[in-house]
Amino acid sequence: MSDKKIIAFFPEAAYGPALNSVGIAQACEAMGHKAVFLTDPGMAGVYSGYGFDEYLVNMSEPMEPEDMAKYWQDFINSHIPNFNKDPYDQIENYTKECWEAVVDTAKWAQKDLPSVLDKVKPDLICVDNVILFPAIKQYGKPWVRIISCSENEIEDENIPPHLSGCWADDPESMAKFRKKFADEIKPIHDDFNEFLASCDEAPYPLGQFFEASPYLNLLLYPEAIAYERKEPLDRKRFQYLEGCVRKDEAYEIPTFKANNDKPIIYISFGSLGSGDTDALKRLMNSVAKMPVRILMNVGDYKDAYTDVPDNVIVDGWFPQPSVIPQMDAVIHHGGNNSFTECLYFGVPAIIMPYVWDGHDNASRVHETGHGFKMHRQNWTEEELHKNINTMLNDDAMKKRLKIISDDMHKEHGPSKAARLLDGLLKQAEQTQGEPA
């Protein structure tokens, strides 16, 4: 064990990045370090619930946590019509509006970060986001970028662009997406570069909002299904963590009113996607016609489910890392936690993406034979039932999942991350924080 150091984690204000960082922070504390969290007020309480100190950083106009949660819920729900569009056609609406909001978070955070960092006095800073926070880069201590989304967040011309959902063997669609993204994002990017200039940072090339850390970059992605890049990632600075599955409370499968001896399926569109209750109800009622049991995460909308089939149990939250290992199949929206947890536990998945890197994860799970990509609305019951039956019965798919699960279990992701961070701290002591 090295001397106790303070490691500050600054995840994006969303549950996926937040809970991944919790897993790494738990492992860092097990090594004897102190982990603390910098957080938007809207996520206050998440980290203290796991026993960590929290330091608030406003990433938008200050408002009550309840108002902030409602703001983002309303933002997502207002885009439900856009969820049916393909990623290319989402660029001009949902994707562009998200980047506008993300740039604003960087501007707001810059107001608080310098003083918060001076208060925390971290020896190391880990940031999981899609945008640069200049104060972190300029603080004078090593900083680590955590990439909890798809690995194509680190760009390479030979792989699908981030958020595109393109197939790996379709360069024509990749080029088409890149051009439209650049055209639509340019005014937002110009504004961001002006902000960087005001912080004495050099401008980024069009379309880039963050950079790789010169110290260390941690990808939660499974290396077994990594893309084939033109420029391979330098393993001294880029490390795959094979998922970062956190410890959560145990979960015992409840008794159903029907089908207690049948396969069990978990359905979740995530905390934000649960707002599309019409889509989830249609999915629930279709799957419920099969000889299966269903656990269904409906977020804050449990009251909307008044007519639930006997082989279905709905709830507003499940300890997912404890649930998925007990499932025979999962249907989800492509969030990175669900994506990596299914692979980690060797459980096949149907991914019905609606936004962001869910599109990338859906394409990747399909083209590597670990599940299926399906449109979230434009599916037939026959197609859905066929894919579910394949997941439950296809021995070749089960074998592929067993292989990748075994591979991901070779080294515990959070423990590997903690070991790498500990090594970086030791190196920083020797080199006064200069990047390798």
Question: What interhelical angle do 96-120 and 171-198 show, nearest 10?
Answer: 40
Long-range contacts of 256-259 (CB under 8 A, 24+ apart): 256/293, 256/310, 256/311, 256/312, 256/313, 257/310, 257/311, 258/309, 258/310, 258/311, 259/291, 259/292, 259/293, 259/310, 259/311
> In which residue ranges of the chain is CATH 3.40.50.2000 found?
6-242+411-431, 264-408
Q: Burial of 73 by CB count in 10 Å (0-12 exposed, 13-18 middle, 19+ buried)?
A: middle
Helix (H, G, I), strand (E, B) or coil at 208: coil
Query: 6-242+411-431 adopts what CATH topology?
Result: Rossmann fold (3.40.50)
| Kind plus residue range of the DSSP H or E element containing 385 | helix 381-393
Structural contact between residues 210 and 379, judged by C-beta atoms closer than 8 angstroms:
no
* Structural tokens at position 378: 């434009």
> In degrees, to the nearest 5, what angle opens at C-alpha 275 toward C-alphas 269 and 276?
75
**How far, CA to CA in Å, does 428 sit from each of 114, 274, 312, 424?**
21, 44, 53, 6
- pLDDT (0 to 100) of residue 74: 78
Helix (H, G, I), strand (E, B) or coil at 241: coil
Structural contact between residues 260 and 293, judged by C-beta atoms closer than 8 angstroms:
yes
Alpha helices in 258-380 (DSSP H): 270-273, 277-287, 320-323, 336-344, 358-367
Low-confidence ranges of the chain (pLDDT < 70): 1-2, 65, 68-69, 72, 432-436
Tokens 């292989």 sit at which residue?
403
The answer for 323, left when phi > 0, alpha when psi is -120 to 50, beta otherwise, is alpha
How far is residue 124's CA from residue 385's CA, in Å, rounded to a whole number? 49
Helix (H, G, I), strand (E, B) or coil at 275: coil
Residue 253 contacts by C-beta under 8 Å, 6 or more apart in sequence?
Answer: 264, 295, 326
| Kind plus residue range of the DSSP H or E element containing 182 | helix 171-198
Q: Residues 264-408: name the CATH superfamily.
A: Glycogen Phosphorylase B; (3.40.50.2000)
Structural contact between residues 338 and 149, judged by C-beta atoms closer than 8 angstroms:
no
Structural contact between residues 313 and 256, judged by C-beta atoms closer than 8 angstroms:
yes
* Structural tokens at position 360: 């990338």
Q: Which residues pair with 147 in a beta bridge?
A: 219
| Kind plus residue range of the DSSP H or E element containing 134 | helix 134-137
